[in-house]
Amino acid sequence: MNDRMHRVVGAGLPSVRPDDVPPAYRAIVEEGWTVTATGARLLSALESGYNGSVDEFTDVVHVEASVNGRAMMDHDLPAAGPERLNRLLRRSLAYACLALRRVPEESEHPVLGYVSLSEGGLADDTLTSHVTFCTRRPGILPYAGQIQDHSDEALLELSRDDAAKFLGGHTR
């Protein structure tokens, strides 16, 4: 995690439960993962709903990050304050962990999850969250590069093992 995420979480990241994930995002995870003809590891529900052209990307990692990326639902949260931050982080982390735990163990390349918190909205004054997933592959630049270089957002990189720790024994 970068310095900004360290400041956000303070004493540490919370443990999470599948119930922290909004139902629509749980449904995405329930559909599982697929591998495309080009080798991209994608959440099946997001691949089928993707409207862009994957031919425009320079590598498979950016295809994965784009197709798998989603803003976290926040319309039911307070507009600002600690409750918004805590619930948004908890939702995002739980979604990322649940999805990572569903990656097949025989995956050729490790799949990583990325949770970011940053200011957004019409006036860039609303805390928002984005979650995406992509693989780490030899010979292809990683999605986030050096985590510490991302200073305008709080950024967390998660592995499948990290997800197991945050979810504890809860996987469904």
Determine, yes or no, domain membership for 68: yes
Q: How many CB atoms lie within 10 A of CB 162?
A: 18
**pTM beyond 0.85, yes or no:** yes
pLDDT, position 36 = 92
Determine, yes or no, domain membership for 172: no
User: Looking at this protein, which amino acid is placed at residue 10?
Assistant: G
pLDDT, position 170 = 57
Determine, yes or no, domain membership for 36: yes
pLDDT band at 55 (very low <50, low <70, confident <90, very high): confident
Number of domains in the chain: 1
Task: Report d(CA 144, CA 14) in Å as an integer.
Answer: 23
Full residue range of the structural domain in which residue 111 is found: 3-167
Over residues 136-158, the mean pLDDT reads: 92
- Residue 136 CA, chain-centre distance (Å), reads 14
Determine, yes or no, domain membership for 154: yes
